[in-house]
Chain A
């Protein structure tokens, strides 16, 4: 099973790389675009830190590590999932899921991973280099074990982020809208930019339960900065598994509502 899906994914990668070679302008501009985006976020926080020494109990170098991790997560998402999930509600809206549903593989795997954005892959390396630079130049005193925990939780966050996104997209099955409520999800992603400590308790409870954005960037950093115990590593993974299961169930429910546009 794993071998079969690895082989299929390898084919997705091959097609995506040959596609990227044909669209060179997009390849270069995607890289510039993301660097521009990262620079704007860092500039914004540097402006904020020009007026305050700490934000949610974190100093500027801790915030830089936090932001760079967010960039790594964002670039990984842009490379692996984002484009595919962008098109997903449109496929539902147009009724052209048939092609994917009739294939002898998991439809969510196919639709969620078929396009690999090679142009954004450069930004994974760039944002990771930025992360390492902030990590090594900080005075936070982080160990190799912290780095490993951080990477594990970041991969966990990547899956959790997309499982939650599926919840917002999937409403397209019932409403027929070409975007679902993806716009609202994009609004919610603003929570990822700030440490959860700035929010009051009631909002933090929501962010670890109903909309678990805290598990993506904030909690992993609180763990490696020694502000939360290691038990939160297991809680984070459990939350992702739960949301993955929920997203799959919802996807199946949605498919039972789906009506094709063609014969």
Chain B
């Protein structure tokens, strides 16, 4: 039986340690990313608002859209968690997966814990940056406790959804010679249809209606809109699409993993 015990806590600790091990790079990336994800959207949208001579568009003022871009950038990082291309596929290619298979633990569960540890790290970083950005740039983000709860819950489900697709893609390494490009296709889809580059509100209405039932749009756009206190998609469609997709993908992953292991050839220890 799998319980959240010492083993899982250790994995959490190791993952956080890995992220923090190169302090200079960490802090440079920390502040660099923060500046970039505010400066670029600010000047881009400012140009558009000025050229249209408007202050509010689709219910979003310039500070709202800058806040959106800022939050979207970090939400994307949270749902992508520890999804590093090659983290599973390389073990399959080099045959090193065999060393995990002989241990009394579930390999995919270990990968899940690693993934979630990174997600949690990015979430903590986001909370800290949010406070900083509010104080420094006066971003209009004032969520209620309920909105915060909903935000975290949807992000958690979205991270599960992304983890499952990410892992299924990685498992394709049992059959395909390189899966890196598959992961990039998925990431690009998530970036554009998830609302990382611009709020889905700006997309044509028909397109938005289709996206309401797609779990991808709930990975970035929905949680950010909830955090900003703006009207997003109905809660029913959000939870239904995420839960149904997670259930289907969970069984799909189990089947892919089982078939893949039959095909797996280890190179030796």
Contact = CB atoms under 8 A, between A and B. Distances in A.
Interface in B4-47: 22, 24-25, 28-29, 32-33, 36-37, 39-40, 43-44, 46-47
Interface in A101-128: 119
B1 interface: no
Interface string A31-43: 0110011001001
Interface stretch (B154-162, B178-186, B260-268): B178-186
A36 B24 contact: no
Interface string A15-36: 0000000111110011011001
B178 A23 contact: yes
Contacts of A44: 192, 197-198
B177 A26 contact: yes
A48 interface: yes
Interface stretch (A4-12, A133-141, A188-196, A222-230): A188-196
Contacts of A56: 47
B51 interface: yes
Interface in A208-252: none
B191 interface: yes
B40 A175 contact: no
B188 A37 contact: yes
Nearest to B183: A33
A145 interface: no
A259 interface: no
A49 B197 CA distance: 14
B94 interface: no
Contacts of A48: 48, 198, 202
B25 A177 contact: yes
B243 to A, nearest CB: 27
A177 to B, nearest CB: 4
B189 interface: yes
Contacts of B182: 29, 33
B202 A25 contact: no
A175 B25 contact: yes
Give the interface SS of chain B, mostly helix, strand, loop or mixed: helix
B203 interface: yes
A187 B177 contact: no
B258 interface: no
B18 to A, nearest CB: 10
Contacts of B202: 47-48, 50-51
A25 B22 contact: no
B210 to A, nearest CB: 14
Interface residues of A, number: 42
Interface residues of B, number: 36
B2 interface: no
B29 A181 contact: yes
A37 B40 contact: no
Contacts of A23: 177-178
Contacts of A55: 44, 47-48, 51
A187 B43 contact: no
Contacts of B37: 187
B109 interface: no
B100 interface: no
A25 B22 CA distance: 35
B185 A52 contact: no
B32 A194 contact: no
Interface of A: 22-26, 29-30, 32-33, 36-37, 40, 43-44, 47-48, 50-56, 119, 171, 175-177, 179-181, 183-184, 187-188, 190-191, 194, 198-200, 203
Interface of B: 22, 24-25, 28-29, 32-33, 36-37, 39-40, 43-44, 46-48, 51-52, 57, 176-178, 180-182, 184-185, 188-189, 191-192, 197-198, 202-204
Given A175-B25, A199-B43, 7 more contacts: A29-B185, A33-B181, A37-B184, A47-B203, A55-B47, A119-B181, A190-B40
18 contacts: A26-B180, A26-B181, A29-B181, A36-B189, A51-B48, A53-B51, A55-B44, A55-B47, A175-B25, A176-B22, A179-B25, A181-B32, A184-B28, A187-B29, A188-B36, A191-B40, A194-B44, A198-B46
